[in-house]
Amino acid sequence: MTARNSPESAVIPDSSGIHLPPRSLKPADLARSLETHFLSKLEYLNAIGIALSQERDINTLLETILVAAKNLTRADGGTLYRLVGDKLQFEIVRTDSLSIAMGGTSGNPVPFYPIPLHDKDGRPNNTMIAAYAALNHKTVNVADAYTEEGFDFSGTRNFDKRTGYRSTSFLTVPMKDHEGDIIGVLQLLNATDPATRSVTSFTEEDQRLAESLASQAAIALTNRLLIQQLEVLFESLIELINTAIDEKSPYTGGHCKRVPTLTMMLAEAAHVSQGGVLDEFRMTDKDRYELKIAGLLHDCGKITTPVHVVDKATKLQTIFDRVELVSTRFEVLKREAEVDMLRAKLRALEAGDEESARRAEEAYLGKVARYDDDREFLRGTNIGGERMRPEDQARISQIARYTWRNAKGERDRFLTKDEEENLNIPYGTLNAGEREIINHHIVATIKMLEALPWPRHLANVPEYAGGHHERMDGKGYPKGLTREQMSVQARVMGIADIFEALTAKDRPYKPGKTLSESLGILGRFKENGHIDPDLFDIFVREKVYLRYAREFLDPEQIDDVDETKIPGYRP
């Protein structure tokens, strides 16, 4: 992205092309010269209007307005005020002969206090010329501030004493929006004769041109502010959706905020990368904004996902964790075993068989120990994890076939089919049906986003947001896209989404992983065709993971990473 040129050199045509006609011309020639002069100023004013309508940055827009007004009227200096509340706030200050440049793109703040439109008693401040113009909706053209009566120019005189300057002519023009409301004031200082360089008063033509420019500028500024307000409103609505998801489940709200940040970090790293497949990937400010919005909305479909699925912290959790019911059944088995043992002992003792009585008690204690061990095993299995061993799954199925006497007094399976299925979930806490429900959130996201009438500069939001669960090898969902069918931005978001999920410390079923663990998993994902290999290499090489970690991870998660041991990483 190229650097923005200064308003004087790039946005506004060169004012040196506007010259006053020589005074020695004959009347007919003078008339033609004046007509040419007037047309050149109109052309300049038209060019300014086009430039103002195209400018997106508020500071540059304000600076463009003031510089254009100075050029049109040959003013040595000028100030542009914006109405904020009941005060005129200094935005841009320029005085060429003193080399003063404040506000705008200058990088120098304006140190002056705002000008109030009313005093503390509510009376209008008609003594200050800028406030008067705003209050009365009138242009004020002052030939000489030192002789003009009715306005307070004490501040101007103090400035002149400090700097040796001579503030003489003032042209102060109110800026009105399309509804006639004041939004600012344009003030020009010391009109200058182009031939003699002496200070003159502002002419009626200067005033008309300045008023015309102020009108164009007010419309451009109002439109830009309106667009800015709409963008703020739009982002606030997105934040409202994410807040609703957050309130619905605290395990997803942080994800909705962190993924966009990580997405932009990786996208910027890819933007500045040199060489390789992504050498031509570059983003404009519009591209960045589009990706930012997509990141914020990438999981908006989760607003449709049932809470009990999103918040399922254990394998047996529904509206409560059913492992406690299973634990109670073990107590029933132990009581049954105890009753059986006591009956066997009683029969043995009645028969005078003490050895059988002893064996009955030992068998009972063995059963109790086994039941206690099985109960703790199921409690541990219920928590879930990355991968369940086949032998553990077999043990669960064996326990499921125990029998117990249920509340109806009937013999029944120890674990229901649903409990056995859930406890045998190979990784995580979601069974196949629940995982399908979770996966549906991306379908809902795409459906919601594609239903919106996106403007041209945000047209790719559904594709960027809807592609973060696709895989490079075409085995992802919901569309089964391959790498070649996906934008770089969607591939970036895919890595950001996975890395955030791996390191997140607010998931109900697992603690946040360390950097080394997360990068190891991502590296294996690269090797098996899950994520973009070039973006992953940039992610590691440019230390994107570390910048993200310092902002979002706990200190104990930020371990020393040996990049040479990351699977699939290519420096």
pLDDT at 508: 60
pLDDT at 255: 81
pLDDT at 44: 67
Q: How far apart (Å, rounded) are the C-alpha atoms in residues 278 and 259? A: 21
Phi, psi for residue 184 in degrees, rounded to 5 = 180, 180
73-91 pLDDT, tens digit per residue, is 999 999 999 999 999 999 9
Q: Is the alpha carbon torsion for 67, 70, 74, 76 positive or negative?
A: negative
Contact 531, 525 (CB under 8 A): yes
Better-scored residue on pLDDT, 249 or 215: 215
Of 251, 302, 321, 315, nearest in space to 511 by CA: 251
User: Token pair of 397, please?
Assistant: 């199925």
Better-scored residue on pLDDT, 168 or 15: 168
Q: Which residues are within 8 A (CB) of 13 and not within 5 positions of it... i.e. 6 or more apart?
A: 44, 47, 48
pLDDT at 390: 92
DSSP track, 251-292: HHHHHHHHHHHHHHHHHHHHHT--SSTTTT----HHHHHHHH
Q: What is the CATH number of domain 249-310+433-565?
A: 1.10.3210.10
406-425 pLDDT, tens digit per residue, is 888 899 999 999 999 999 99
Q: How far apart (Å, rounded) are the C-alpha atoms in residues 99 and 89? A: 21
308-345 pLDDT, tens digit per residue, is 787 788 889 888 889 999 999 999 999 999 999 999 99
User: Token pair of 497, please?
Assistant: 């989404």
Contact 490, 461 (CB under 8 A): no
Indicate the SS3 state at residue 250.
Answer: helix
pLDDT at 548: 96
- Please confirm whether the linkage preceding 306 is cis (ω < 30° from 0): no
Which amino acid type is present at position 96?
D
pLDDT at 387: 83
pLDDT at 6: 35
Q: Which residues are within 8 A (CB) of 531 and not within 5 positions of it... i.e. 6 or more apart?
A: 471, 472, 491, 494, 495, 498, 522, 525
pLDDT at 12: 43
343-365 pLDDT, tens digit per residue, is 999 999 999 899 999 999 999 99
Q: How far apart (Å, rounded) are the C-alpha atoms in residues 553 and 546? A: 10
pLDDT at 51: 67
Better-scored residue on pLDDT, 434 or 248: 434
pLDDT at 509: 59
Q: What is the mean pLDDT of the chain?
A: 87
User: What CATH fold (topology level) applies to the domain 7-227?
Assistant: Beta-Lactamase (3.30.450)
Q: How far apart (Å, rounded) are the C-alpha atoms in residues 480 and 320? A: 36
Mean pLDDT of all residues in 41-48: 67
Q: Per-residue pLDDT for 178 more than 90?
A: no
Mean pLDDT of all residues in 432-443: 87
